[in-house]
Amino acid sequence: MKKIAVFPGSFDPITKGHESIVLRAAPLFDELIVAIGINAEKQGFFPLEQRIQWIKKTFQGHSNIKVMKYQGLTVDFCKEIGARFILRGLRTSADFEFERSIGQINKQLDRTHEIETVFLLSEMEHTPLNSSIVRSVFQVGGDVNNFIPNAIDLSTFKKEQ
Ligand code: ADP
């Protein structure tokens, strides 16, 4: 049975923290799906298709890393694509508390108990990094290049108002 993992999130935008988790986890699985959860009530800052393109570019050349989008419960998406693992990153104890509750709720939602959540610790230099800080710096014209994957460039992006 193929070992497929889903790394769910908003990736609005993808950061060096996400990139590092994905690259370190990829050798552990046959296939790793970076999955953008679509929230009908929350549009996100960067357009969905743009976020997908940035993720594709980041992991170009890594044949077992793919990007997909999904709606609804993460566990339902996992079942749909035959994934038995949910990958999450941990930066701080606050992340741990948040992730513990999501992980345990997902266990309840997955009646067959086939899906396990696996966690990787963030690299020390990525601990303070999150997409929301990148968006804030970007919105006021700051340089975000140190925070996003080297393969991508946000400077050409213009937000349509
Ligand atoms: P959400 O949409 O749930 O806020 P994010 O897109 O922010 O999700 O992140 C998705 C996953 O990536 C989460 O498991 C989160 O803990 C992890 N993550 C986010 N930033 C980092 C980072 N700097 N280092 C390691 N993991 C991270």
Annotation marks residue 113 as catalytic: no
Q: Give the model's pLDDT for residue 155.
A: 83
Task: Say if pTM beats, i.e. exceeds, 0.75.
Answer: yes
Domain 4-160 in CATH 3.40.50.620? The answer is yes
> How many of the other CB atoms lie within 10 Å of CB of 24?
15
Ligand 1 pocket member 133 (CB < 6 A): no
Q: Give the model's pLDDT for residue 35.
A: 98
Taking the domains of the chain in order of start, what are their residue ranges? 4-160
Torsional sign, CA 42, 47, 53, 55: negative
pLDDT in tens, 17-36: 999 999 999 999 999 999 99
Ligand 1 pocket member 74 (CB < 6 A): no
Annotation marks residue 62 as catalytic: no
Ligand 1 pocket member 144 (CB < 6 A): no
pLDDT in tens, 52-85: 999 999 999 999 999 999 999 999 999 999 999 9
CA pair distance 63, 48, nearest whole angstrom? 22
Q: Give the model's pLDDT for residue 160.
A: 63
Q: Give the model's pLDDT for residue 157.
A: 84
